[in-house]
Amino acid sequence: MPELLLELFSEEIPARMQASGANDLLRLVTEALAPLNPRDATAFAGPRRIALSLTLDGTVPGTTIAERGPRDGAPEKALAGFTRKHGVTQDDLVLENGFWVLNRTISPVDAATRVAEILPPLLRRFPWPKSMRWGHGSAFTWVRPLRRILCLLDGEVVDAALVDGEDDGHGLRADRLTEGHRFTAPAAFPVTGTRDWRDGLRARQVLVDAAERRALIADGTARLAAEEGLRVVADPGLVDEVAGLTEWPVPFLGRIDDTFMDLPPEVMQVSMRVNQRYFALVRDDGSPAPRFAFVANLQPEDGGALTIAGNERVLRARFADARHFWDLDRSRPLASRVAALDAIVFHATLGSQGARVRRIVRLAGLLAPMVGAPAAEAERAARLAKADLTTGMVGEFPELQGVMGSYYARHDGEPAAVSTAIAEHYMPRGQTDGVPTAPVSIAVALADKLDSLTAFFAAGEKPGGSGDPYALRRAALGAIRIIRENALRLDLVRLFVLAADALPSALRDAPDLALLPGFVAERLRVQLRAEGARHDILAAISSGNEDSDITRLLARTDALVAMLATDDGKNLLAATRRAANILRIEDRKDGPHEGTPDPTLYEQPEERELANMLLDVIPAVEAAIADERYTDAMREAARLRPALDRFFEAVTVNADRAELRLNRLRLLAELRRMTVLIADFSQIEG
């Protein structure tokens, strides 16, 4: 089984594109070589190369293909067209079952020939998110200038080139050469296979395995920090990025000047991460340490002294800039910046950030009593929540929105609940982020998210397909999480109406506003599905139910899930589905079969038993649901199970006598009326 090694060596590939590029290469090559049964495939990605290694069959087997042509006796033109299409004569055809048939023999193709055929067109259509052209004489594009193509099959060079007619493909042709580290081993060297390639590059200070580079970075920085009694602030995304910037990662620690240690830790961490790709370190108690970790791309000859000093000098300049913004921003109260929001465009249709803030202030004040927050503090926090958008620090580091506003509010002497709400009103920022729990923070966070949803839907900016430029799915999920995790009792439809009342008059009756409850309900089902919960039961409970109290809907869902986990619940579900199917069929014939059953027409004891049980159970279920005693409601409904079993075993619903049939169908309609109080059982899976 021949081994295929393919390496595409280029100038530096952006770190964010490396993994996807290597995966695309592996996918496209394995698809193109499917007749050769590719297996044991591995992709590699690094700063200057993407590569793959796999094993193949040695040959695409030959085969015979029978292509059926016109029927015997068909017009001559039809037969002539078939032979012309395939470049044959009528003598090459045979008659089989009344049709002219061409039996074509396809010769075997060796793996090297097949690889050489598929490689040039595959590289020319490679799906980089962004590509570039360079030099002269070729329209070939790559993410960065492509310098070498290494392509070996069983140790032999595959005869493939990028030349395409007049396009010389930059003279790129497959070879067995690659290059080591740009600075320590730049000379080209030949390889004979995957193991030789990996070992040769390692000897020349290049690690081709991205996972190995990530481990060296994470473990190396953690070890250096632990030696000083510190730990690295977890940042998997930064580890991935640095692994995409270094071929031979060597971690070091640097020192932060004491004069900068009074900067907010978030400022220090973001400045180090965004500007320099440095890792922040903290003490055991979580307080920032006067140290930072960074990763060099080679092992310095002096042990790193000069490298450390240089990085400390660069960070000192970065922190001096941060210090300037920190001092300048605090020179004026945060509240004085609110007026400047009127000059910042939020959306062409929705107006300025200032107009948006006024909507959020109003909605936060309305929400405050619903979540147990003082209205004055909620309105104050909402008024200041976006003011830090005009500060120098947030202008430099947009990631610090809210965080800096909280610091500046605290500096100005604002109440603690207000400054905390300014920081927390963006929460949750992602799936792993927490939600605000303080009442004022909850009011402002919900007001912010509900205003975004209402305003953008009114402006016709609802998400479509995979597009969601205004992060409205995230806003909906954030609102859902805040409500769920704080067990809030809110009528979302009413809140959307209240939010819409503050919009420009032309937008208050926008048709897309009617889609908002369904949009949020779908996000809730998506969240439950991601948690492995019974989203189908939530859909069943929500069917025909205009209730938009998420906490109440989920309590009903949990109670029904618990009931259906019992034997009585499972059998009740089966029986009610059977009743619903009978009614659906019979209603099509001569329904609907509504009305109160006539007790005098009960002929069998099983009818009377079910009727009496329904007379007892229906009021009990109605009362329990009205009192939000959902477990009790499910328990009452489950009491019907024995009577239903006996009814279906003994009673023929479609009796020969019309009045008897009608009465029994009305009895089943009473059962359906009871189950609809709980859920649309037809939507429950399983």
pLDDT value of position 573: 85
Main-chain phi, psi angles of 169, to 5 degrees: 55, 30
68: left (phi over 0), alpha (psi -120 to 50) or beta: beta
Alpha-carbon span 173 to 193, nearest angstrom: 18
Considering only residues 535 and 126, tell me which one the structure prediction assigns the higher pLDDT: 126
Residue 298 clears pLDDT 90, i.e. is over it: yes
Name which of 280-284, 362-366, 538-542 the model is least confident about.
538-542
Q: What is the mean pLDDT of residues 88-112?
A: 83
The CA-based diameter of the chain, rounded to the nearest angstrom, is: 104
pLDDT value of position 356: 97
Q: What is the mean pLDDT of residues 49-59?
A: 92
Q: Where are the alpha helices (DSSP H) in 438-507?
A: 439-458, 472-485, 492-500
Residue for token digits 């139910």? 545
pLDDT value of position 544: 67
Name which of 338-347, 380-389, 562-571, 609-618 the model is least confident about.
562-571
Q: What is the mean pLDDT of residues 462-488?
A: 92
Entry field: residues in the chain: 686
Residue 68 clears pLDDT 90, i.e. is over it: no
Name which of 139-148, 382-391, 439-448, 573-582 the model is least confident about.
573-582
Residues 313 and 255 sit within 8 Å (Cβ to Cβ) = no
Q: Mean pLDDT in the chain? A: 92
Strand positions, DSSP E, 348-479:
351-352
Query: How do the domains of the chain map onto residue ranges?
Result: 3-59+111-203, 65-106, 210-331, 335-461+470-526, 559-678
Q: Which CATH class, in words, describes the domain spanning 559-678? A: mainly alpha
Residue 686 clears pLDDT 80, i.e. is over it: no
Bridging pattern class, strands 345-347 and 99-106: unpaired
Residue 621 clears pLDDT 70, i.e. is over it: yes
Q: What is the mean pLDDT of residues 621-639?
A: 90
> Cα–Cα–Cα angle for 140, 143, 147, nearest 5°?
65
Q: Where are the alpha helices (DSSP H) in 227-343?
A: 236-243, 265-271, 305-329
Strand positions, DSSP E, 129-245:
146-153, 156-157, 174-175, 177-179, 188-190, 231-232
Q: What is the mean pLDDT of residues 125-154?
A: 95
HSE-up (13 A, CA, CB side) for residue 646: 13
Alpha-carbon span 368 to 363, nearest angstrom: 9
pTM of structure: 0.81
* CATH tag, 335-461+470-526: 1.10.3210
Bridging pattern class, strands 279-282 and 250-255: unpaired
Model confidence at 158, pLDDT cuts 50, 70, 90, reads very high
**Residue 86 burial (CB < 10 Å; 0-12/13-18/19+)?**
middle
Model confidence pLDDT, tens digit, residues 568-608: 888 888 888 888 888 888 888 887 888 889 999 989 999 99
Alpha-carbon span 380 to 363, nearest angstrom: 12
